[in-house]
């Protein structure tokens, strides 16, 4: 791993020592299929959906969800990415996050946005995402899908669709991707 | 060494990684500038002072626009109608403005080294050099490299950040004109050379700096042949306010030997890019028709001014001081 990747991993809190694997690649796949069905169950008009992956961990998961939704519903489902670095509330106190691509464009009025992230933790990324979304207009509804909810919320934010509820301690960290979910300890 | 949390006084000494971080961050800001709401709250509540002791249109406008689009408040000093005209020193002017509570100063000054000096007066404030005498104009160097990378990457169907520094490897850049008086040349050369380009310069001997042998450039003897060699031709403004007129026999003579005339432009390969930092002396360093060719990136350079300056303000001001 080169130093840039290592730095980005550190920023994302992902550099850690693995303690145990909690979900396999198949488990993740099954969880996402179930979440896709739940999203369709909640949203009768699939064509209004915009699946928005949060940079960087949420993007691959959102893309997979959008494909599954399109497959199940038989209609194309819009997939976009959103980077919330410039909206974070820790700017000036924590190291800056490296910004990534945002593809979201146009006006969101009349749409239902499903924000997708890998791990839901303090809720601050989602707060930043909600603030960012308002710059693209007023969607009819915003929902939240996460592969893992690890608890420790610092804001009144609750996911609508969850792959796996995972009670953790603050000394632990979680890595979640399409390849699986791991529990680890943060390096000191 | 990133510019995060530091001043930006010069591009000299910045690493390739530090330059790429700025270019990649600017790419995110290009997207922000295409939105209906062209504003993010990254510098909300911060105060950026814009101090231009020398005339400027695009640099000043784009710095102030950049600061506002990051949510900062901009304090702008109109030097012509300020106490500077009563003889107030730079140090006292800075102290007065600093008393208003500043996070950053964007400084343009006719003296080389002015930005560095100000950074010592107000060590708690981030200082961004917007051009100091004949020394450096860092954001111009950055936006020139950014624009070139953007255009070359787009030809390959890629975004600039996807290409990293690869498109600069061996890129042949020819900088032409008043190298001696040009802070843009110094910043451009630092940026291109650090990113991996081969840089050559073409100028009459009187417009070459005396220490050119220490620069990471080659001086070309035959300007016309060098035009065929170049992938990028970086033109410079003939700076009459810095006395360039005394260094060339006449403007016509300069145009005849080193101007990018239509005949010379015909020697360029079709894919060769032309840059100019503006304001242009049409008919002197560049023929008016050549300046309007599609390969001339002058208007892209201007549009990239805002995202590059947003990236610089964001990285220097929004980041907490590193290594402290």
DSSP state of A122: S
Locate the chain B residue with the closest alpha carbon to A108: B36
User: How many A×B Cβ pairs under 8 Å?
Assistant: 58
- In this complex, do A86 and B159 lie within 8 Å of one another by their Cβ atoms? no
H or E element, residue A124? helix A124-133
A113 located within any domain: no
Contact A104, A14 (CB under 8 A): no
Using the predicted structure, report yes or no on whether residue B313 has a pLDDT greater than 50.
yes
The label of the residue with tokens 């933790």 reads A121
Share of chain A above pLDDT 90, in %: 81
pLDDT the model gives residue B324:
40
pLDDT the model gives residue A1:
38
Distance from CA of B316 to the nearest CA of A (A): 10
A127 located within any domain: yes
SS3 at position B75: strand
pLDDT the model gives residue B86:
81
- In this complex, do B42 and A86 lie within 8 Å of one another by their Cβ atoms? yes
C-alpha separations of A91 from A95, B25, B43, B205, B320 in Å: 7, 15, 8, 49, 8
Residue (of B277, B253, B321) closest to B130 by Cα position: B277
Distance of CA A49 to the CA centre of its chain: 16
Of the two residues A139 and A95, the one the predictor is more confident about is A139
Using the predicted structure, report yes or no on whether residue B262 has a pLDDT greater than 70.
yes
Mean pLDDT over A126-154 rounds to 97
Within 10 angstroms of residue B205's Cβ, the number of other Cβ atoms is: 9
- Mode of pairing for the β-strands spanning A141-149 and A112-120: parallel
A184 located within any domain: no
Mean pLDDT over B152-164 rounds to 96
pLDDT the model gives residue B84:
79
Distance from CA of B133 to the nearest CA of A (A): 32
Using the predicted structure, report yes or no on whether residue B257 has a pLDDT greater than 50.
yes
Of the two residues B100 and B24, the one the predictor is more confident about is B24
What CATH number has the domain bearing residue A79? 3.40.50.2020
A80 located within any domain: yes
Using the predicted structure, report yes or no on whether residue B144 has a pLDDT greater than 90.
yes
Q: Cα dihedral sign for A130, A133, A137, A142?
A: negative
Contact B316, B3 (CB under 8 A): yes
Q: Best interface-test mutation with B: which of A4, A85, A86, A133 has the largest number of B CBs within 10 A?
A: A86
CA–CA gap between residue B55 and residue B82 (Å, rounded): 14
pLDDT the model gives residue B265:
96
Are the folds of B16-135+305-318 and B138-302 the same? yes
Query: For the purposes of burial, counting CB atoms within 10 Å of the CB of B188, is it exposed (0-12), middle (13-18) or buried (19 or more)?
Result: buried
Locate the chain B residue with the closest alpha carbon to A134: B37
pLDDT the model gives residue B48:
97
- In this complex, do A95 and B322 lie within 8 Å of one another by their Cβ atoms? yes
Domain boundaries, chain B: 16-135+305-318, 138-302
For residue A59, the enclosing domain spans: 26-92+122-167
SS (H, E, C) A49-64: EEEEEECCHHHHHHHH
Q: What is the pLDDT of residues B102-111, one digit of tens each?
A: 999 999 999 9
ipTM of the complex: 0.87
Q: What is the pLDDT of residues B173-190, one digit of tens each?
A: 999 999 999 999 999 999
Question: What residues does B93 pair with on adjacent strands?
Answer: none
Q: What is the pLDDT of residues A1-51, one digit of tens each?
A: 344 555 556 555 556 688 899 999 999 999 999 999 999 999 999 999 999
Q: Choose among B37, B70, B319: nearest Cβ to A96.
A: B319
Q: What's the domain count of chain A?
A: 1
CA–CA gap between residue B103 and residue B173 (Å, rounded): 36
DSSP state of B286: B
CA–CA gap between residue B277 and residue B295 (Å, rounded): 15
Distance from CA of A175 to the nearest CA of B (A): 25
Q: What is the pLDDT of residues A79-111, one digit of tens each?
A: 999 999 999 999 988 888 888 999 999 999 999
CATH of domain B138-302: 3.40.50.1370
Distance from CA of B226 to the nearest CA of A (A): 37
Question: What residues does B219 pair with on adjacent strands?
Answer: B201
Q: Cα dihedral sign for B89, B90, B96, B99?
A: negative
Q: What is the pLDDT of residues B10-57, one digit of tens each?
A: 999 999 999 999 999 999 999 999 999 999 999 999 999 999 999 888
Query: For the purposes of burial, counting CB atoms within 10 Å of the CB of B321, is it exposed (0-12), middle (13-18) or buried (19 or more)?
Result: exposed
Mean pLDDT over A51-55 rounds to 97
Distance from CA of A48 to the nearest CA of B (A): 21
A20 located within any domain: no
A109 located within any domain: no
Structure tokens at B313: 């303000």
H or E element, residue A40? helix A25-42
Q: Choose among A4, A83, A95: nearest Cβ to B319.
A: A95
Phi/psi of residue B176, each to 5°? -125, 135
User: What is the Cβ-side half-sphere exposure of residue B228, based on CA atoms within 13 angstroms?
Assistant: 5
Mean pLDDT over B277-300 rounds to 95
CA–CA gap between residue B3 and residue B52 (Å, rounded): 22
Share of chain A above pLDDT 70, in %: 90
pLDDT the model gives residue A8:
57
Name which CATH class applies to B16-135+305-318: alpha beta
Using the predicted structure, report yes or no on whether residue B243 has a pLDDT greater than 80.
no
pLDDT the model gives residue B102:
94
Helices (H), B230-296: 251-258, 262-265, 288-291
pTM score, two decimals? 0.93
A38 located within any domain: yes
Q: Choose among A96, A101, A132: nearest Cβ to B315.
A: A96
A129 located within any domain: yes
């Amino acid at each position: 791993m080169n130093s840039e990747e290592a730095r980005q991993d550190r920023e994302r809190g992902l550099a850690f020592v693995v303690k145990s694997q909690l979900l396999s690649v198949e488990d993740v796949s099954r969880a996402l299929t179930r979440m896709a069905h739940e999203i369709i169950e909640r949203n009768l008009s699939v064509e209004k959906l915009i699946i928005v992956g949060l940079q960087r961990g949420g993007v691959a998961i959102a893309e997979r969800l959008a494909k599954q939704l399109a497959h199940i519903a038989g209609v194309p489902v819009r997939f976009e990415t959103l980077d919330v670095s410039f909206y974070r509330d820790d700017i000036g106190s924590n190291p800056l996050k490296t910004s990534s691509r945002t593809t979201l464009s146009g006006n969101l009025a009349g749409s239902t946005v499903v924000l997708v992230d890998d791990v839901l933790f303090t809720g601050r990324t989602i707060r930043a995402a909600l603030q960012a979304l308002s710059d693209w207009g007023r969607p009819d509804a915003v929902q939240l899908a996460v592969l893992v909810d690890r608890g420790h919320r610092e804001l009144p934010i609750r996911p609508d669709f969850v792959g796996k509820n995972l009670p953790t301690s603050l000394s632990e960290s979680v890595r979640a991707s399409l390849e699986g979910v791991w529990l680890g300890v943060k390096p000191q | 060494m990133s510019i995060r949390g530091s001043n930006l006084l010069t591009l000299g000494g910045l690493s390739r990684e530090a330059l790429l971080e700025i270019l990649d961050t600017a790419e995110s800001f290009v997207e922000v500038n295409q939105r209906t709401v062209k504003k993010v709250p990254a510098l909300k509540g911060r105060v950026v002072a814009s101090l231009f002791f020398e005339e400027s249109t695009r640099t000043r406008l784009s710095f102030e626009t950049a600061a506002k689009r990051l949510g900062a408040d901009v304090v702008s000093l109109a030097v012509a109608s300020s106490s500077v005209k009563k003889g107030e020193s730079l140090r006292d002017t800075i102290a007065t403005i600093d008393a208003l509570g500043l996070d950053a100063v964007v400084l343009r000054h006719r003296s080389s080294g002015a930005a560095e000096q100000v950074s010592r007066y107000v060590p708690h404030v981030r200082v961004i050099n917007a051009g100091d005498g004949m020394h450096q104009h860092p954001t111009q160097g950055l936006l020139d490299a950014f624009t070139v990378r953007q255009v070359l990457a787009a030809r390959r169907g890629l975004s600039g950040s996807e290409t990293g520094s690869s498109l600069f490897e061996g890129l042949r850049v020819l900088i032409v004109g008043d190298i001696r008086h040009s802070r843009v040349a110094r910043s451009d050369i630092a940026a291109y050379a650090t990113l991996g380009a081969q840089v050559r310069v073409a100028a009459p001997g009187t417009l070459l700096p005396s220490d050119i042998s220490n620069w990471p450039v080659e001086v070309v003897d035959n300007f016309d042949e060098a035009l065929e060699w170049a992938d990028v031709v970086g033109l410079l403004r003939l700076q009459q306010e810095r006395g360039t007129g005394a260094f060339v026999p006449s403007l016509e003579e300069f145009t005849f030997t080193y101007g990018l005339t239509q005949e010379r432009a015909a020697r360029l390969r079709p894919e060769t890019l032309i840059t100019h930092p503006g304001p242009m002396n049409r008919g002197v360093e560049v023929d008016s028709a050549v300046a309007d060719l599609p390969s001339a990136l002058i208007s892209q350079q201007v549009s990239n001014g805002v995202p590059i300056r947003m990236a610089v303000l964001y990285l220097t001001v929004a980041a907490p001081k590193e290594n402290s």
